[in-house]
Amino acid sequence: MHYKLKTSCFVLLFMAFAAVSVNAQKRFKPNGNLLKAVKRGLNESALQYHFLMEQLPAGRFPVTYYSKEQKMITSGSEPWVGGFYPGGLLYLYESTRDTALYNEALRKLKLLEKEQFNKTTHDLGFMMYCSFGNARRLMHTSAYDQIIINSAKSLSSRYNDKVGCIRSWDSDAARFMVIIDNMVNLELLFAATKLTGDSSYYHIAVKHANTTMKHHYRADYSSYHLVIYNPETGAVSKKQTVQGAADTSAWARGQAWGLYGYTVMYRETKDKKYLDMANHIAQFLLGHPNLPKDKIPYWDFNAAGIPNAPRDASAGAVICSALIELAGYAGPKMAKTYFSAAETMLGALSSPAYRAATGENGGFILKHGVGNYPRNADIDVPLIYADYYYIEALSRYQKL
């Protein structure tokens, strides 16, 4: 069933969301030294992406770089990572007004455009909103409206009302697989409702978030990676942590996706239960005894070998960006905690410990990401999504 929201309601909702954004910006005074480092980081990131552009084959998207082999790993437009490179370029253009970055983003958007009709993936939020969502925001044009709407239609086709979720993996039709990552794809659906007045997208996002809250989370507010449902009944069949240290462990990037997703849910709905959820997740992360002093997490909070286990800068970047936003919504005491933690993380990520020198690291910005540790894939390497959320965190901090 499709519902139509009245235009006047949309105006009020938009004004409320804008007011929250303004309040978040007025609430905190950035650290002067860190702000200088942030501005420098954005400028140096722009230079680094000029170098990356020179290394990148035409028609390809960057994924990672293997320094020992001096080999860049690239992809076509179809994997989940395709939107991060043009999205990062647009954030950098917003800060620097470097038209070379803008033009490169436009070239990659053109290659990515066909994925609006891709119904085989749950990652269209990552792919199409990190890219075309930023493009529409910066260009102040409706040129990309239909692409965002079509992308949301494709994503919605994967929704099962009996389960109350959007399907993630298609490897087994008899098992309805949902991963925590999907929480970050919901922002695309909210955008489609705003553009069309069709609240069916909004309701799918809410149902998915509610079901995930019920079944993905443990009593301590850590999250499983994967929950498998019976597609006919909606019953839970199994809970796993495929990319983590164990099914019962807290895989760091999974916790980051949840924090980011429920922060967005509160922004878009103003439903306090989502703010409460985001607060619980943040407090689990920041209060964990295995969180290092610089607050860049190990690849799994329960990884073997801590303190010698690999860190995951990608999880750190996602958490940092989410905390900057969440600090604008939380009560004064927790807001101060979140903002201080985000500043610590942003300072660490901007230091030589995690940030590559210009012309190194294959053109990627951050070092020390972990892709899939259990599969021995992409360990201690740069990752394009780590770069994206780091650039977003820099941009959010600068706008304060």
Q: Which two tokens stand for residue 381?
A: 């390497």
Catalytic residues: 123, 181
Q: Where are the alpha helices (DSSP H) in 118-225?
A: 124, 134-139, 145-156, 186-196, 200-215
Query: Rounded to whole angstroms, how far apart are CA atoms 378 and 356?
Result: 17
Query: Rounded to whole angstroms, how far apart are CA atoms 348 and 294?
Result: 6
Angle formed at CA 345 by CA 293 and CA 43, multiple of 5 degrees: 145
Query: Rounded to whole angstroms, how far apart are CA atoms 35 and 385?
Result: 23
Query: Rounded to whole angstroms, how far apart are CA atoms 256 and 297?
Result: 10
Q: For CA atoms 399, 192, 264, 369, give the dihedral sign.
A: negative
Half-sphere exposure of 54 (CA within 13 A, CB side): 11
Q: Which two tokens stand for residue 261?
A: 């997703």
Query: Rounded to whole angstroms, how far apart are CA atoms 167 and 290?
Result: 32
